[in-house]
A and B are shown apart, each in its own frame.
Chain A
């Protein structure tokens, strides 16, 4: 019953996607399609929850193709987890996209194509996670890439939008080519196209490592691990904000979903693979956040933070992988639980931050944080929600970011405990790495919050309009952050249920009592955090009651009374000292004109910009070398008929020689 509810929901959504193509009036179809799609999502959400509760792992056939045999769907626990994530996150995204497009419709921009492709994107995501046939998976995978590209060219007049979306499209296409080979090899080995039959004994296949590399890199490009992340900082800032919120909140998670599937198919039993995943994720985490520290564009900064959080999720998965190698169930559970929990958290607070930055972009029409400032006086509630988001993302206790990092820390300690010899040292390095990431995240988000919201406004601000709908979508996400932070038990129970369903977990013995013991006790958290918040409100009220008189005066500034906004700390000066350390990796270029004479006249300026290491050193030179070598093949290009005839003669003679001297 619940499954066809899910498919009914999908049907409604796709119908709503087609509405804009029929109705002419912009406002009417945008309203109809957005809220119709919302209704569809609620339907399919009920469907997924229904079949999670009633549990149905049967296959749903939608057609038969002579070459790819049955095109079917399957609701196993991992895909239900990700479908739920997509559906929950698409509600605020749709609300925000509706209000984001309103000013554009008012200014007469035709948004038909973009409304259609955004809703179809949500539909293809849901079907992608549920697809069980490899070819069907590839179809929806490419559709996802195509539709997100079509959506990304929202403001395609600007050249940076054209360039960024082109890089995104090529990167996903490269990832898909790797996945072609990955799925074809799996088909060749197991002889079937269904995910449920793709399980392989480790040492029976010679190309085992090649398969793992293909799968991991293919999905890693989409997830955004460090060496293959070059498209992410280019694609996020130029996409319309509702898409970049959805892109980094949900679409990147599909790379993670893919990597989980790779683990499920290959069941790696070699710890080295675990170590590789751990190393890549640690690098992505540390350098993700360090690059973010050096950025001035708010959306590139958030994009790099997505890389950092993907790194943290990767660390959880690496630990799980090591657990699988030694087939020790507690480690597997801890690692994967940390990864899944952080996926949920990241989806929530990252969409919140992106929506916040989108609202600011719509009012100030700039993404450069050095031009913002003092927004808290004009939109206090917006800065409260943004503050909650940034506290959550840097993993500070009362909110949900801390819980998932806590699980991952615990997995480090448990791994060091179980496996002797060198593991404690490596686990220590991982703990310190994660702590460093936490510290840098704190530094980065204090910078973002203080430069954007606090202090004096750097560009004069008049009205700051935030629609009720935007407040509502931000409100839902903020509430989720706080709720999960203080009451993690329900989400933990849900994740344990998902883990029980996953073959990679329950195939190592399924006495799930060990699971509850593996998990650190969460009951103290609720008690501590509640009392912490209670204590804070108490002291705040006490302070308000006790301080009978409080006065507003000019800031002290050691006696200098004429503080103006240009004397404030800017983003680059705040993060300057921290950026000096890996400056050759961050590739920070500073151009500064310093007036020399004693009474300096105007004209001095300072600008620092960081280039992406992976792009400058790996992708760009390789690409230009290939293009140069392609262009060097010049002899083919003479367009004289005698040359063509000479080609025919040469081809003939060479084939004849080849035919008669080849020994077969």
Chain B
């Protein structure tokens, strides 16, 4: 019982209480404690201690355990780095946006955890909608034109998307009509148990609506722009939070629907939908990667690409499915590392344009190296985990005999690699076009002290390498349990 309290009660309470306080230091301390407790609870849940399911309202199967661990891990790291960020971020009128920062993050944690562990589709929907509401003011942190526009677009697009998801839920109830499951209501356990008795047409329609609706939040093309604008204009801890954890929660809905349709003839269709979604996001990323000049936007598009690969892996099934699960874990870690370092660069170079940032390796010694390592992680260089998960997904593609698809994926990945490395290396070394000497006088010297963001990024990268080569047995068991529940 105390686990539920830790997971849900505490964040809600602190979120509400903080409306009264406005001393930032206490708020920071409190939210770190809450985050730590939440992480401890998530680990306990992950390692199998049983939790009451509130007469079917909550559900703790392997999938929720994994996603819960990802969420709390991301939230913990973001909270640690948020204070460092709040004080130095270049904001015109900081105190107004700082006041509501910690309230919204705690409420976000509450809504997100509720969405993950809810067993009822409607409850999941409401929690997802409330996460959007919590995140919207956080995006508007900088209080300038871009962040306002990003917040508006994100809010509008995602709420329209989620409205379509609600239509999907209604279609699901329609498909349940006339069967005994109808009385038992929209509980996942009930839906998964007797999904074979549903009406196939409505099930297919509900799958489409839910997939399209939720993909605005996950960031799968062609519904990705809202997500990309939000991530590229929000402060970097929030950007890390959105791209690392929010994508996963929305993906939970799609996974649940996949689970429901897994025993029915609609399964092949839902897999094709996922593959199409995955490929579309890869194409979109390739197209935009060559045209952009803002490194935060570049990282946003790389998260669209990686979530596209995850969805592609889910659509393939078998070893590809397992690869997609690992890819999700590794992607959340890499995104955090990338965004923290991007935050550092933004703070020192005061601009998000790539051509204004140069000789990173020389001036910001630590940030440069860590940003380079994070970039190598995101581009699937071996010691880091993403290389192994992508290899599993390629293996799944081959097992299905999709040679054409595999070569297309490799082609896109190569060109994304070319575009991204061109941008990152332009930032890394001295810019040859502008005469470096007179530029240096203007914004020198950078304060390159070793602060907490560097330490946390370094720890994240080490965890990424360790988890890449030697997968912990608990994780292996959970992932194979999930695979069994999707009957692979």
Contact = CB atoms under 8 A, between A and B. Distances in A.
Query: Are A and B direct contacts in the complex by CB distance below 8 Å?
Result: yes
B222 interface: yes
B441 interface: no
B306 to A, nearest CB: 17
Interface in A627-648: 627, 630-631, 633, 636-637, 639, 641, 644-645, 647-648
A644 B469 contact: no
Contact of B391 (A143, A157, A184): A184
B399 A188 contact: yes
Interface string B262-297: 000100110001000000000110111011000000
Interface stretch (B32-40, B86-94, B106-114, B413-421): B413-421
Contact of A170 (B204, B369, B417, B471): B417
A655 interface: yes
Given A138-B391, A651-B222, 8 more contacts: A135-B388, A138-B382, A139-B387, A173-B414, A177-B410, A648-B160, A650-B222, A652-B209
Chain B interface size band reads 35 or more
A583 interface: no
Given A177-B413, A644-B225, A648-B216, A659 B421 contact: no
B157 A641 contact: yes
Given A63-B469, A162-B425, A644-B157, A639 B225 contact: yes
Contacts of A651: 212, 222-223
Kindly list the 4 A-B residue pairs having the minimum CB-CB distance in the complex, ordered from nearest: A139-B382, A159-B432, A156-B429, A142-B382
Secondary structure type dominating chain B contacts: helix
Given A166-B425, A181-B394, A187-B395, A664 B269 contact: yes
Given A630-B290, A641-B156, A648 B164 contact: yes
Nearest to B401: A188
Contacts of B415: 626, 630
B406 A181 contact: yes
A651 B421 CA distance: 32
Contacts of A139: 382-383, 387, 469
B153 interface: yes
A184 B394 contact: yes
B414 A174 contact: yes
B338 interface: no
A542 B284 CA distance: 80
A662 B394 contact: no
B177 interface: no
15 contacts: A113-B361, A146-B376, A146-B382, A158-B432, A177-B410, A181-B398, A181-B406, A187-B395, A639-B225, A647-B222, A648-B161, A648-B223, A651-B212, A655-B208, A660-B204
B159 to A, nearest CB: 11
Interface string A99-129: 0000000000000010000000000000000
B476 interface: yes
A157 B434 CA distance: 12
Contact of B287 (A140, A141, A633, A648): A633
B391 A180 contact: yes
Interface in B407-437: 407, 410, 413-415, 417-418, 421-422, 425-426, 428-430, 432
A357 B367 CA distance: 36
Contacts of A627: 290
Nearest to A153: B429
Contacts of B392: 67
Contacts of B422: 166
Interface centre among B319, B382, B471 (most CB of A within 10 A): B382
B2 interface: no
A476 interface: no
Contacts of A153: 428-429
B381 interface: yes
A600 interface: no
A66 B414 CA distance: 28
A630 B322 CA distance: 32
A177 B380 CA distance: 11
Interface in A147-169: 153, 156-159, 162, 165-166, 169
A514 interface: no
Given A63-B470, A135-B391, A162-B429, A652 B381 contact: no
B354 interface: no
B15 interface: no
A647 B226 CA distance: 12
A137 to B, nearest CB: 10
Contacts of B387: 138-139, 142
Interface in A50-70: 63, 65-68
Given A143-B383, A188-B399, A648-B223, A656 B208 contact: yes
Given A139-B387, A180-B410, A655-B273, A157 B223 contact: no
B429 A636 contact: no
A648 to B, nearest CB: 6
A262 B417 CA distance: 27
B421 A652 contact: no
A67 B319 contact: yes
B393 to A, nearest CB: 10
B100 interface: no
A165 B429 CA distance: 12
A185 interface: yes
A159 B358 CA distance: 13
A192 to B, nearest CB: 13
B305 interface: no
B471 A66 contact: yes
B363 interface: no
Given A142-B381, A648-B212, A162 B432 contact: yes
Interface in A302-349: none
Contacts of A174: 414
Contact of B470 (A65, A637, A664): A65
Given A156-B429, A162-B429, A180 B394 contact: yes
Nearest to B417: A173
A252 to B, nearest CB: 21
A656 B286 CA distance: 27
Contacts of A184: 391, 394-395, 398
A173 B322 CA distance: 25
Interface in A38-56: none
B21 to A, nearest CB: 36
Contacts of B410: 177, 180-181
A153 B424 CA distance: 14
A140 B222 CA distance: 37
Contacts of B152: 641
A659 B471 contact: no
A656 B382 contact: no
A655 B274 CA distance: 11
Contacts of B268: 664
A304 B173 CA distance: 70
Nearest to B287: A633
Nearest to A68: B388
Contacts of A67: 319, 322, 388, 392, 471
A153 B288 CA distance: 28
Nearest to A664: B268
Interface in A601-641: 626-627, 630-631, 633, 636-637, 639, 641
Contacts of A157: 429-430, 432
A178 to B, nearest CB: 9
Nearest to B268: A664
A639 B229 contact: yes
B255 interface: no
A285 to B, nearest CB: 29
Contacts of A664: 265, 268-269
Contacts of A626: 415
A373 B95 CA distance: 70
B192 interface: no
Looking at B216, B369, B391, B407, which has the most chain A CB atoms within 10 Å of its CB? B391
Interface in B289-329: 290-291, 319, 322
B364 interface: no
A181 B413 CA distance: 14
